[in-house]
Amino acid sequence: MKISAASVLFLAVALASGLAYADCTYPQAPAKVPDGATATKQEMINGMMAVRAFDQAIKAYTDCLRLEHDTAVKKIDPKSDPDKAKAQKTELDNVYIKKNDAAVDQDSSIASRFNEQVKVFNARTKGKS
């Protein structure tokens, strides 16, 4: 495994700035999205429930990130070294934004894939009951 200088620098800054984020556990995404072309109604319902549960877990995760970010920012003492404090806050903001955006993007992607499969399922089962 190759570690870049940027990775080492990021880790050093993260440790120095007191980044918390360790308590927020990234939720497990659904194992798969059902295939609307072959799935049963129950499989689609189970898929919907898994997607909804993941969405709720992502919401809890991003709320946790926000809380940890805000807590870490409050611990920064701008009076001791204003430039260092500004750099620490910027780093905390950047980490928060990246983690939050990645989680929301994955959540949106899974929901979109599921919605596409619902359309396929509905087209396939239209008129059948």
Given this model, what pLDDT does residue 78 score? 87
Q: With bands split at pLDDT 50, 70 and 90, how would you rate the model's confidence at 128?
A: confident
pLDDT in tens, 16-44: 444 444 689 999 999 999 999 999 999 99
Alpha carbon distance 34, 115 (integer Å): 10
Domain total of the chain: 1
Given this model, what pLDDT does residue 127 score? 72
Range of the domain at 54: 5-125
pLDDT in tens, 80-122: 899 999 999 999 999 999 999 999 999 999 999 999 999 999 9
Nearest to 108 by CA among 59, 49, 42, 44: 59
Nearest to 115 by CA among 51, 43, 41, 32: 51
Given this model, what pLDDT does residue 22 score? 62
pLDDT in tens, 33-75: 999 999 999 999 999 999 999 999 999 999 999 999 999 999 9
What is the sign of the dihedral through the CA atoms of 73, 74, 78 and 81?
A: negative
pLDDT exceeds cutoff 80 at 13: no
Alpha carbon distance 27, 39 (integer Å): 25
- φ and ψ at residue 37, rounded to 5 degrees: -75, -20
Q: Compute how many other C-beta atoms are within 10 angstroms of the C-beta atom of residue 79.
A: 7
Given this model, what pLDDT does residue 80 score? 87
